[in-house]
Structure 1
Amino acid sequence: MDPIRFCAEVDAHPWADLTHAYGSAADVPDCLRALAGDDDEKAAEALSELYGSILHQGSVYEATAHAVPFLARTAAAGIRAADVLALLGGMAESGADDGDGDEAAVRRAVTAELPLLLASVEAEDSGVRQAAAWAAAMTGATDTAYGVLRDRFAVETDPQVRAELLGGLVHLDPAGTVTLATRAAGPDEPAEVRIAALMGCVDAGADWGPGHHDAMLALLPADHLVAGRIDLDRSEPLQYVVSSLLLRNTPSDRDGAYALLAAALRTGRPEVLAEAAWASESAVQISRSARERLAGPLCDAILLDPEITEAVLPLLRLLGGHAAQAGPVLARLAARDDGRADQALAALVDVDPGRAVPLLARDLARRPRALDAACGGLFGSPRVPCDAALLAAVRARLAEPDALGGQEPYRYAALLESWGSRASSALPEVLAALGKFPQQMARALAAVCAPEDRAAAGGALRREARSGQREGGLGAARALHELTGDTEPLLTVLAGRLEDGDAHGTSEAASLAAGLGPRAAVLLPALSAAVSDPAADRTTPELDADIAVADALWRIAGRAEEAVRLLRGPLSGTGPSWMRWTVSRAARVAALLGDEGRPLTEELRRLLPDPLQTPVTVLALCAVAPETLDVPRTAGLLLDSMEQDADPFTALDALLGLGPEALAGDNRGRLTELAERDPRVTASRVEGATASADERFQERAREVLRALREPGEGA
C-alpha cells in the first residue's frame, strides 16, 4: 500500500458530510491514518475510537460502510491485519441482509471484501487466520465462504483457529454442520475445539444427549477455553448451553439443561461451581421451573461444603423460599463476625425471613446488604414483619440521626412505612430525624402516626413544609396532606415548583396537582404558564412536563381542548427508542379524556402497529374511539407485543378492555401458552427481579383468561 496515496484518498472522502455514533464523522480520517501508520500506541487509540464511533456497542452508522474499503486495504497490506479483520467482522455481524438502511449498506460493503477475507484464512499468522474466519462467516455469504472455511478446517492445526472456523461454519449453515460439530466434540480434538463444537451442536439444533452431557461436564470449568475467541456471544460456555437448551422449550431439553447444572453444582470444585452458579442464575431468569429444579442440587452442594456458600449467595437469593433447606447454614454464616456475614444474612432474608429477622436486629448498623434485602432492594417492597426486636433496633438507629449513612434513612423509612401503625412507638425517633432527613422521614411519619398523635405529627410536618427546603418541603407537604387532608402547604410548594421553570420539577408538580383534582384549581394559571414553546426543539423532559400539565388541566378543570393540543405533539412524532415512554405517557393521558380525546384518534392509530406502543395505544383507543378497532386483529397485535416482552402488563389490561371477543380464534390458545409455558414472558429491567415480575404476569394472565371466558364456557 502506498501510504501517501492512501492518506490522500482518505482525506478526499467527504467524511464531514457523514455521521457516526457521536455526530459528524470528520474525525474518522485521522483514525484511519493512525491505524495504518507506524505508531503502535496511536494505532491502538485509533482502533478504540473506531469501535466507539462507527461500531458503537454493536450499532453501525452512515460512515461505517464508507470506512470499510480503507480498512480492507489496511488489512490487505498486512498492517495490524488481525485487529482490522476483527473490526470488519464486527461490522458485518451488526449489518443486515436486506433493506436500504445503514445496516444493509455495511453488510454489503464487508461482503464485497470477501476475496480478501477468504485469502486471509490461509495467512501464516494464526491471529490473522482466526480473525479472517470470523469476519468471513459474519458476512453470511454461505455460498461463497462455507466451502473455503470447511477446507481450511480440514487442515488447520491451531486450536483457537479451529474453534473459530467451526463456529463460523455453524453460523453459515447450522443444519449442514451438525455432523461435523458432533464429531468435533469427541475426545480426539483439543479442548478449545470440543467446547466450540458443543456450543455448535446446540446452535445447530442437535439433540442433547448423554454424550454431550458427559463431554461438557468433563470440560468444566470452560470459560478459559474460549478466552481467545473473537465470538464474544459465547464467552461463557456453560451458561450459553444451558440458556440455549431452555429457550428451545421442550421437556427433553429442559431435562438436559437441569441435569447438566445439577451435576456441575454437585462437583464440589469451586471453579466449576462459580460457572454453574452463574449459569443457574441465567436459568432462573429464563425458566419458570428453574427455582424448583435447582433448589435440591444447590442445597446438596452447600450441605456438602458450607464454605462454598459465598460463591452461590446471589443464586440463593434468586431461589428464595425454594432454598429454605440452606437456612441453617446461612444462619451460621450470618452469625459470624467476618466479611461475608452480611452477604449471608442478605441471602437468609430471601430464603427464610423469619430466621433472618433476629440476626438482622442484633447487628443492624453493620448489615447494609441484609437491610437492603429486607427492604426489597432498590425498587422492591419491604418483606420482613414488624418484629419487636427489629423495631427497637430501627428506633435506636434513628435516635442518632448524625450516625446514619448511605441508604440507611431510606431503608428505615421504607420499613416503618410498610409497618404502619404497628410501629407507632417509633414516632419520637421519626420526629427527631425529620429535620435531618425530611424527604425520607415525612412519609414514615404519616404512616406510623396513631390517631391520638396526629396533631403533633401534623404540626411537625407543617413546619417542615414551610421550611423552604426544596425536597424536604415537598415530602412534608405531601405527607401532611395524606395525614390530615390539608392541601394549603402542598399547593404552595407546587406553585413554587411550577414557577421555577425546571422541566423535571414541572412534571412532578403537575402530576401531584392532577391527583388533587378540582382542589388544585388555584394552580391552573401556573400550569398553563409552565407549558413549553411548541415551536422550539423540545427535549424529552419538556415533552414529559407538557404531558403532565395536560393531565392536570383535564383532571382539575376538564379543559380537554388544551389537553388535546398538548398531547398531539408527543403522539405525532416518531423519535428514537428513548422516546418510547414519553409517547406511552401521552397515550395514557389521552385515554383519560374518553370521548373528549377523539381528535387524537388518527395519531393513536398510527402508533398501533408498533409493538412497543400497541398496548397503551389500544387502551387509549378503547376510551376515545372504540369503534375504530377490529377486536380480534387488535388482540392479535397485543399478543404479538406480549410475546416480544413489550409492556406485557399493559397489554393484558388492554385485552381485558377489548372484552371476550378478544380471545376469539387462536388468541385464547396464544394467551394460555404465554401463561403456562416454561420460558418466562417478562424480564424485569431490575437485576434479580425477573422471576417475581414474570410470576405477577403469569397470575394476571390467568385472571384475564378467566375474566374473558365466554358465557357458558367451562373453567
Structure 2
Amino acid sequence: MINDSDLDSIDWSSMGHAYGRADDVPTWLRNMVSPDPEVRERAFGKFYSAAHHQGDVYPCTTASLPFLFAMADDPAAPDRASVVELLVSIGSEAAERVDGIWMAPDGTESTAGADSSALIRERGEAFVAYASDPDTLVRGAAIPGLGLFLDDAERAAAVLRDRLKAETGITERLLVIETMADLALRLPAAQAPAQEWLGALADDVTTDPDIRLAALVQRAHCVSQGIDADTVPTAIALLRRITPEPEPVTDPVTDPVTEPVAESGDDEERRGNASGPCTCATEPAPASDVPPHIAAAFADLERHGRAHAPTTRLLITFHAALGGRIADRTALLTEQLRSPDHATRYDAIGMAKSLIGSWRGDHTHLVGLLADCLSTRDAFTTAAAAEALGSLGTGLAEPAREALAAYVAEHRVTHRPDAWASPHPLPRRAHQEAVLALAGLGDERALPGLLTALDTGTDAYRAVNAAGRLPQCAAELAPRLILRLAEADYTREWPVISPPALMSALAKLGDPAAVPALADAVRGAVRHKQTCGAAPALDALASFGTRAAAALDVVRPLADADDVTLRMAAIRALWELERGPEDVVPRLKRVLDEAGHHDTYAVLDVLARVGPPAAPVLPRLRRMVSEATVRHPGDAWILVHGAPALWEIGGEAEADLVVRSLLTAWDANGSTADRVVACLDRMGRSAAPAVPRIQAALAGPGRRDDGDPWGRSADQDEELLRTGRAILARFGLARTEGKGGPTGSAGGWSGPVGRVHGPVRR
C-alpha cells in the first residue's frame, strides 16, 4: 500500500498537470485505495483528466508511478485492475511520447515521457505477475503490458504462449493473441516466432473458431503482405461459426432499450397507429440546466464509442489490415451486415461508413445493405443506419432514397403521424435520422417531419439545416424559419436553435420573403453587439443579390463599422445587393491594408466576385500571389483565395501565374484541393498545365491527399472527382477502368495527353 511519508516527501507543487500545479495528485493517489467505491472512482477520473489528460504524461505522472505500482502489488488493495489499467495506459502513451518536451511551471523542459517509459520498462516483470493474478480483471488489464513493456522478445513470446494455455475465458484468450501481434509489431526479434505461432493457430482445425479467427486477423495485422485470396473467405467462414443466434427481445417501440435489438413481430395494439394516440413509454425529462442539443451531443459521443458484439474490436482490426482491398472488405461487410446477430449488424454500420468515407469505388452494394438495416421493428439499428446514410452525401446515398422514404412513410403509419416528436427516444431518433438523410437527398418526402419539428419545437434545432435542402418547399418552410428567427435571443451564448443556422437555411431556400426578417436580424445582432450573428445575417442577405436591395439602408452603414469582420460582411453584401464597383472596390482596398489573414481571404473572395471592374487592385494582387507562391507552404490559403481573384479579374493574361500558384497550394496543403480544382474548372482550357496533377489526384484509391491531415468527407471527394473528370473530359481524356490490384484501385486516364501541353486559349 501507499507509504504516506514517501508521498509527502515529494515536492508536488513544483510540478504541474493539465490544469495547474500538481498539489492535488497525492490526494488522488490516496483516494484510489479508499474503502468507498465512489471516492475511488472520482480519484481515478481526476487523475486521468489532469495528470494523464488526453494521454499526456507530465512529471507528476512519472512521480506517481512508484505509488501506482505499490497499489498494484498489494493483493489487499481495492480496484487493482483499475490501477494496472492506468499503468498500462501511462506506459503505452509514454512510449509514443518519448521525444516530447513538457514545459514545467518554472519554464524548464521535462522529459516526462521518456522517464515514465523507462521506469515502467524497468518494472516489466511485474506485468508477468499481474497477468497470472487470480483476479480475472487484473489479468485482463495486465496482458497488454506483456507486449508493451517486456523488451526480451523470446521471454515475452513464451509468457504469452503460456498465458493462452492457462486462460479459460474467451476475452482474455483473444487479448493474449492481440498482444502477441502488438509484440511482433514493436520488437523485430518477435516477428518471426509470433507470425509462426499465429499462423499455426489460424490453421489448426481443432482450435476453437473464435481463436482461429483472432489468430488469422492478427497475423494479417502483423504482415499485410501475407493476405491472400483465401484470407477473407476463411475469416467469413469462421465468423459464421461463432456468430450467436439472436436473443428474443421485447418490441423496441413500446419497451425502451439502449442496445441494438433484434427484429420482433408486429403488435399493432401495443405499438399504436395513425388512428389513435401513441401508447409507448416516454423518456425521462432531461436535467433543466442542460440544453437539449448539448445533451444530445454527449449522448452521440457515448453511443459512438460503444461496441456491442464480441467480434467488433477484432473486425475493426481486420478492416484496418485489409486497408484499400475494397472487394475483400465489401465481402466481409456483406457478411456482417447480413448477420443473424443484431449486435454484429449494428456494429458493422460504422465500419461500412468508414470504408465508404475513406476509399473510392462503387459502393452501391454497401449502401443498399445499409438501407436494408432500416426497420420499424429495430429503432436502434435504424437510427445508426440512417445517420450513416445521411453522412454520405447526395451522390453516394442516392441508392437508399426509396428505402428511406418507405421507412419514413411506414413509421408514420405504424407508430404515429407525428413520429418526429414521439415521446419514446429510440423511435424518435430513428425517425429523425431517416428524415434528415432523406432531406439531405433533397427529397420533399422529408417535409412532414421537418414541419412537425418546426411547429412543435421538438428537436427543432435538428431540422433547421435540413430545411435548407428543400428549396422546392420554401413556401411552407420559410415562414416557419422566419418566425423562429424573429424569436432569436442574441443575449444567449449557446441558444438551442442557432440564429446563423436559421439564416443559412433561409438563404438556401431563396424565398425573398425572408429579406425583411434577415434585415431585422442584422439590426438585432448589431444592437446586442453580436458580430457572430450580424455577419451571417449579412451573408444571407447577400445570397439574394439585387432581390434584397430593400435592405441597403441596413447594410450600407455597416460597411464602415469598426469591427473588420462585420465591415467585411457588409461590404460583401453591399456588392451583391447593389453591384457598384466604384463604391466597393475602394472599400476592399482599405480593408486589405489592415486585415488579418482571415479578413484578407474574405477580401480576395469578394474581389473575385467583382471581377474585371476590380482591375485597380490587379498589380497588388499579382504581387501578393507571386510572393506567396515563393513563400509556401504557410501561404497556401492566401494562394487559393488570391489566385481565383487574379483569374476572375485579369483573365487569360494571368493564367500562368494562377495555375502555378494553385498547384503550389495543392502540393503544400491537400486540404486546398476542393478550391483549387473548382478554380481550374472555371479556367477552361487555360488549366491545361494542371492536367497531370488532376490525373494523379483522381487515380488514387483513397479520399485523402498527401499533406491533408483531415481528409475530405465522402461528399466533398465525390464532388472533387466529378469536377476533375469534367476538366479532363474537356481535354479529350477518358477514364480507363482497370481490373484492380490488391488495393482495388482501378485504371487510369487515356487520350491525347500531349495536345494539352501546347498553346491554349480560354
Alpha-carbon distance, 1:20 to partner: 1.8
Say if 2:495 is the partner of 1:484. no
After the TM superposition, which residues 656-695 of structure 1 pair with which residues of structure 2 at under 5 Å, given as runs? 672-681=695-704, 690-695=713-718
2:475 to 362, 383, 391: 391
Check conservation: 2:662, 2:676, Cα contact below 8 A: no
How many Å separate the matches in 2 of 1:325 and 1:671? 35
How many Å separate the matches in 1 of 2:591 and 2:376? 67
Say if 2:585 is the partner of 1:509. no
Say if 2:239 is the partner of 1:216. yes
Cα deviation code 1:621-643 (max 9, x no counterpart) = 9999x9xx9x999969954743x
Structure 1 pair 619–484 and aligned structure 2 pair: CA distance change class (3 A):
closer
Q: Any idea what SS the aligned residue of 1:294 has?
A: helix
Counterpart of 2:170 in structure 1: which amino acid? Answer: P
TM-score normalised by structure 1 residue count: 0.65
2:636 to 615, 619, 627: 615
Counterpart of 1:346 in structure 2: which amino acid? Answer: V
Counterpart of 1:417 in structure 2: which amino acid? Answer: A
Structure 1 pair 385–649 and aligned structure 2 pair: CA distance change class (3 A):
closer
1:322 is aligned to 399
The alignment covers a number of residue pairs equal to 596
Structure 1 pair 9–697 and aligned structure 2 pair: CA distance change class (3 A):
farther
How many Å separate the matches in 1 of 2:471 and 2:477? 14
1:113 is aligned to 123
Alpha-carbon distance, 1:681 to partner: 1.8
Check conservation: 1:588, 1:616, Cα contact below 8 A: no
Say if 2:359 is the partner of 1:287. yes
TM-score normalised by structure 2 residue count: 0.61
1:712 to 751, 755, 758: 755
How many Å separate the matches in 2 of 1:316 and 1:392? 26
Q: Any idea what SS the aligned residue of 2:91 has?
A: helix
Structure 1 pair 364–516 and aligned structure 2 pair: CA distance change class (3 A):
closer
How many Å separate the matches in 1 of 2:236 and 2:156? 31
Alpha-carbon distance, 1:86 to partner: 1.1
Alpha-carbon distance, 1:139 to partner: 3.6
How many Å separate the matches in 2 of 1:673 and 1:363? 47
Counterpart of 1:484 in structure 2: which amino acid? Answer: A
Check conservation: 1:349, 1:356, Cα contact below 8 A: yes
- Greater percentage in helix: 1
Alpha-carbon distance, 1:170 to partner: 0.6
Alpha-carbon distance, 1:56 to partner: 1.5
How many Å separate the matches in 1 of 2:319 and 2:696? 16
Structure 1 pair 697–145 and aligned structure 2 pair: CA distance change class (3 A):
farther
Check conservation: 2:453, 2:463, Cα contact below 8 A: no
Alpha-carbon distance, 1:386 to partner: 1.8
How many Å separate the matches in 1 of 2:693 and 2:592? 41
Alpha-carbon distance, 1:173 to partner: 0.5
Structure 1 pair 60–678 and aligned structure 2 pair: CA distance change class (3 A):
same
Structure 2 spans left out of the alignment, 5+ residues:
102-111, 186-190, 248-304, 489-494, 577-583, 609-616, 647-653, 734-752
1:181 to 190, 198, 201: 198
After the TM superposition, which residues 427-466 of structure 1 pair with which residues of structure 2 at under 5 Å, given as runs? 427=513, 441-442=517-518
After the TM superposition, which residues 339-488 of structure 1 pair with which residues of structure 2 at under 5 Å, given as runs? 339=422, 340=427, 342-343=431-432, 346=435, 349-350=438-439, 353-354=442-443, 356=445, 359=448, 365=454, 376-377=465-466, 382-387=468-473, 391-392=475-476, 395=479, 407=497, 416-420=506-510, 423=511, 427=513, 441-442=517-518, 468=527, 470=529, 479=541, 483-484=548-549
Alpha-carbon distance, 1:16 to partner: 1.9
2:614 is aligned to none
Q: Percent identity?
A: 18
How many Å separate the matches in 2 of 1:707 and 1:621? 25
After the TM superposition, which residues 151-230 of structure 1 pair with which residues of structure 2 at under 5 Å, given as runs? 151-174=162-185, 175-176=191-192, 177-184=194-201, 193=211, 196-197=214-215, 199-204=217-222, 205=224, 206-207=226-227, 208-220=231-243
Check conservation: 1:202, 1:244, Cα contact below 8 A: no
Check conservation: 1:374, 1:384, Cα contact below 8 A: no
Alpha-carbon distance, 1:183 to partner: 4.8
Q: Any idea what SS the aligned residue of 2:331 has?
A: helix
Say if 2:588 is the partner of 1:555. yes
2:67 is aligned to 70
How many Å separate the matches in 2 of 1:394 and 1:634? 39
Check conservation: 2:81, 2:137, Cα contact below 8 A: yes
Q: Any idea what SS the aligned residue of 1:63 has?
A: helix
Q: Any idea what SS the aligned residue of 1:53 has?
A: helix
Structure 1 pair 655–488 and aligned structure 2 pair: CA distance change class (3 A):
closer
Alpha-carbon distance, 1:355 to partner: 5.9
Structure 1 pair 474–303 and aligned structure 2 pair: CA distance change class (3 A):
closer
2:144 is aligned to 134
Structure 1 pair 74–249 and aligned structure 2 pair: CA distance change class (3 A):
closer
After the TM superposition, which residues 10-89 of structure 1 pair with which residues of structure 2 at under 5 Å, given as runs? 10-36=7-33, 40-78=37-75, 79=77, 80-89=79-88
1:103 is aligned to 113
Alpha-carbon distance, 1:596 to partner: 6.8
Cα deviation code 1:664-713 (max 9, x no counterpart) = 9xx98786454233432279x9x999321222333455577789998624
Alpha-carbon distance, 1:111 to partner: 1.6
Q: Any idea what SS the aligned residue of 2:94 has?
A: coil
Deviating more after overlay: 202-211 vs 337-346: 337-346
Structure 1 pair 406–121 and aligned structure 2 pair: CA distance change class (3 A):
closer
Counterpart of 1:616 in structure 2: which amino acid? Answer: W
Structure 1 pair 364–647 and aligned structure 2 pair: CA distance change class (3 A):
same
How many Å separate the matches in 2 of 1:582 and 1:147? 62
Structure 1 spans left out of the alignment, 5+ residues:
225-231, 435-440, 444-459, 499-505, 520-550, 568-580
Check conservation: 1:156, 1:162, Cα contact below 8 A: yes
How many Å separate the matches in 1 of 2:8 and 2:308? 38
Alpha-carbon distance, 1:366 to partner: 6.0
**Which structure exhibits the higher relative contact order, with contacts defined as CA atoms closer than 8 Å and separated by 6 or more residues?**
2
After the TM superposition, which residues 140-151 of structure 1 pair with which residues of structure 2 at under 5 Å, given as runs? 141=151, 143=153, 145-151=156-162
